[in-house]
A and B are shown apart, each in its own frame.
Chain A
Amino acid sequence: DIVMTQSPLSLPVTPGEPASISCWASQSLLHSNGDYYLDWYLQKPGQPPQLLIYLGSNRASGVPDRFSGSGFGTDFTLKISRVEAEDVGIYYCMQSLQTPLTFGQGTRLEIK
């Protein structure tokens, strides 16, 4: 199985400030088609996860442009340019290069 590791596990952020979450995979997530099979989800309190970024850097429909995904190989980053109160929750990365699909442990973002 591909093991996903996130850092930090807890992220206190002041509104309006940027935030960054890292995700590492135990092997490269580069597919032969040139895409990176890495997705980001946000689970707001009491809600199911929602898709933010798919295939490394593509924003899902309706996701604000303050969210961006980047990275290559085994190292990936989710960046929020200016954190808002509604961004509170747990962020998960997930690899979809091979089954079983696996998630990172999650990063809890809280407002200072």
Chain B
Amino acid sequence: QVQLQESGPGLVKPSGTLSLTCGVSGASISSTNWWSWVRQPPGKGLEWIGEIYPTGSTNYNPSLKSRVTVSIDKSKNQFSLRLRSVTAADTAVYYCARGWGRGSSSDYFDYWGQGTPVTVSS
């Protein structure tokens, strides 16, 4: 059974950097999948952040692209999210997900982590 688990600080100071990791079990992160991050502000809908393919190819949401980096660590079977210069607007539950795609990005997400809440506050 494929499982994804997010980990990282639950509190980040304004102007700081949000750093999360998604550990993958039951599947190889080197497989032909996209590995994605999606967030959900409190009481709101879903926003796609970005994703990475095992080759290192990435796609990012233009609204966040200047502040986001998604990276992959094949030796640890995990991938990571870094979001710089955070503000209160970045407070959200952050989900990692596995994407299937025949082309240059995910077509759909079949497995999701449970999500980790991150609050931006001093």
Contact = CB atoms under 8 A, between A and B. Distances in A.
A35 to B, nearest CB: 8
B106 interface: yes
Interface residues of A, number: 27
Given A48-B95, A48-B115, A96 B45 contact: no
Nearest to B49: A100
A49 interface: yes
Interface residues of B, number: 25
A48 B63 CA distance: 23
A48 B105 contact: no
A24 interface: no
Mostly, the A contact residues are loop
Interface string B38-75: 10000001111000000000011111000000000000
A51 B61 contact: no
22 contacts: A33-B102, A37-B107, A41-B46, A48-B97, A48-B112, A49-B38, A49-B46, A49-B95, A51-B108, A51-B109, A54-B100, A54-B107, A54-B108, A92-B45, A94-B48, A94-B108, A99-B59, A99-B60, A100-B60, A100-B62, A103-B47, A106-B45
